[in-house]
A and B are shown apart, each in its own frame.
Chain A
Amino acid sequence: MIFVVDPHSGVPLFQQLMEQVKLAIAAGRLQPGDALPSVRSLAVPLGVNPMTISKAYNLLQREGILDHRPGKPLVVAAIAEDQLGARRLSQLEKALRPAAALASQLAIEPDEAVALYRRLLSATKES
């Protein structure tokens, strides 16, 4: 699991980390029960204040995405199947929202936009 942060984007770093964890879980790269790298081991390679990583982990814990056992590293919490599906969709929704706004700005008809999206999906599946 490789994390990347972009200090230029304007999005808080802890938020970026949280999003990346959620995406990884939704995409199946992180399975329930997988341990996450410790704060210390991430801080120097990422070049971030350890407190930022702690904050991300704590918030993920509060959202129930990560589990904490005393004396053990943080692990991905167990997820029910339907929950997993909902999470995946919510990730996709995040990516699509700006596209929808853009389509509206460009005054493209919803049907046209959906057709374009379908074409892109098939193209990606083939490659």
Chain B
Amino acid sequence: MNVLEMRNVSRAYRQGEDVLKGLDLTVSQGEVIGLLGRNGAGKTTLLRIALGLLESQSGSVSVFGLDPREEPVAVKQKVGYVSEDQVLPGFMRVHEVIDMHRKLFPDWDEELALELSSRFHMDADQRIKHLSKGQARQVALLCAVAHRPPLLLLDEPAGGLDPAMRREFLETAIQLLGESGSTILFSSHHMTDVERLASRLVMIHEGQKWIDSSLDDVREGYCLALFPVSDGVTAQDLLQLPSCLSARERGDAVRAVFELDSATCRRQLGDKLQREEIQCQPLPLEEMFIELVGGGRS
């Protein structure tokens, strides 16, 4: 049974403004999926539909074989959720928040909760509104993770946090992966975190899936070709080529992303453009993101 199955999921907040259009997504146990996309592309909507907080306006959603709208409690007991814009009640104290979660989740692991709370140096009596952004997020992470959920949904969990805090979050997620074999679906803008954690990448653009493959395939499957402007090759020329995903001029170079590995790309471009020494290199994730959604064709 798949952990998550979304078929033909659509959602619009306003008439004619589709946030998600006919999206399919299947997640198997143990996968770690990095959700990429620009702000407002639909990542948050997708995660909320998975948890049943929003209703999909078409198609079906199933989490561990259950419909999150029909059986919300059963689904939510198996899911840990952390979101950047999650609001914990300001007047509650840390121990009250943890206590509430402890009672709601039958699979709560007290040892893990204690380990995390001492690692994060939590003050049990502190009110949430007096915590810094990072500390409040740590509380949220503890509560989401301490019941060892089989599925972890993270919506930019480290958004706005300093690098040390981000690393702590990453390590906590990895710990959960290693110890409990959880499945993780997370969205993030920090590409280094995505590179470290994700086994599969899904990129959402204009409401649809643009990329859905393993991280390694993405790496090997895309490359960046660079041409000095003085060479006379224009972005338009490159966009005509079949495997070109995007091409644009930046400064004094034309940068184009091809859906080929570096060696093949070099060869093909060399043939097509009658040139030697074509500069093709593997593409770090961040560059790929910028090239694809910064100047691509749909």
Binding site for B on A (CB under 8 A): 5, 7-14, 39-40, 43-44, 47-52
B295 within 8 A of A: no
User: How long is the Cα–Cα vector from A12 to B174 in the complex, in angstroms?
Assistant: 18
Does B284 lie within 8 Å of A8, measured CB to CB?
A: yes
Query: Which of B5-13, B54-62, B120-128, B194-202 lines the interface with chain A?
Result: B194-202
A-B contact pairs, 12 of them (CB 8 A): A7-B196, A8-B192, A10-B281, A12-B215, A12-B220, A43-B178, A47-B170, A48-B174, A49-B174, A49-B177, A49-B196, A50-B178
By a CB distance below 8 angstroms, the chain A residues around B195 are 7, 13
Does A49 lie within 8 Å of B282, measured CB to CB?
A: no
Does B178 lie within 8 Å of A44, measured CB to CB?
A: yes
Most interface-central of A9, A39, A49, A51 (chain B CB within 10 A): A49
A-B pairs, top 6 by smallest CB distance, nearest first, are: A7-B195, A10-B282, A7-B192, A10-B284, A44-B171, A50-B178
In the complex with contacts A44-B171, A44-B174, A47-B171, A10-B192 CB distance below 8 A = no
B147 within 8 A of A: no
Task: Count B interface residues, CB 8 Å.
Answer: 25
- Further 10 A-B residue pairs, CB within 8 A, beyond A43-B178, A47-B170: A7-B195, A12-B215, A12-B220, A13-B195, A40-B179, A44-B175, A47-B167, A47-B196, A50-B174, A51-B30
Q: How far is the CB of B104 from chain A (nearest CB, A)?
A: 27
B151 within 8 A of A: no
In the complex with contacts A13-B195, A13-B196, A14-B216, A47-B283 CB distance below 8 A = no
Q: Which residues in window 177-228 of B have CB below 8 A to A?
A: 177-179, 191-192, 195-199, 215-216, 219-220
Q: How far is the CB of B118 from chain A (nearest CB, A)?
A: 16
Q: How far is the CB of A67 from chain B (nearest CB, A)?
A: 23
Q: How far is the CB of A70 from chain B (nearest CB, A)?
A: 21
B244 within 8 A of A: no
Q: How far is the CB of B74 from chain A (nearest CB, A)?
A: 28
By a CB distance below 8 angstroms, the chain B residues around A48 are 174, 196-197
Closest to B166 in A: A47
Within the complex, which residue of A39, A47, A49 is in contact with B32, where a contact is CB–CB below 8 Å?
A49
User: How long is the Cα–Cα vector from A44 to B216 in the complex, in angstroms?
Assistant: 20
Does B197 lie within 8 Å of A49, measured CB to CB?
A: yes
Q: How far is the CB of A54 from chain B (nearest CB, A)?
A: 10
Does A5 lie within 8 Å of B196, measured CB to CB?
A: yes
User: How long is the Cα–Cα vector from A51 to B215 in the complex, in angstroms?
Assistant: 12
Closest to B223 in A: A10
User: How long is the Cα–Cα vector from A88 to B281 in the complex, in angstroms?
Assistant: 26
Closest to B283 in A: A10
Does B219 lie within 8 Å of A39, measured CB to CB?
A: no
Most interface-central of A5, A8, A9, A47 (chain B CB within 10 A): A47
Q: Which residues in window 36-90 of B have CB below 8 A to A?
A: none
Does B177 lie within 8 Å of A50, measured CB to CB?
A: yes
Does B171 lie within 8 Å of A12, measured CB to CB?
A: no
By a CB distance below 8 angstroms, the chain B residues around A13 are 195-196
By a CB distance below 8 angstroms, the chain A residues around B191 are 7
Does A49 lie within 8 Å of B216, measured CB to CB?
A: no
User: How long is the Cα–Cα vector from A43 to B178 in the complex, in angstroms?
Assistant: 8
By a CB distance below 8 angstroms, the chain B residues around A10 are 219, 281-284
User: How long is the Cα–Cα vector from A48 to B175 in the complex, in angstroms?
Assistant: 10
User: How long is the Cα–Cα vector from A10 to B170 in the complex, in angstroms?
Assistant: 20
By a CB distance below 8 angstroms, the chain A residues around B196 are 5, 7, 13, 47-49
Does A9 lie within 8 Å of B284, measured CB to CB?
A: yes
Does B174 lie within 8 Å of A43, measured CB to CB?
A: yes
Q: How far is the CB of B24 from chain A (nearest CB, A)?
A: 23
Q: How far is the CB of B226 from chain A (nearest CB, A)?
A: 13
Contact with A along B278-291 (1 / 0, CB 8 A): 00011110000000
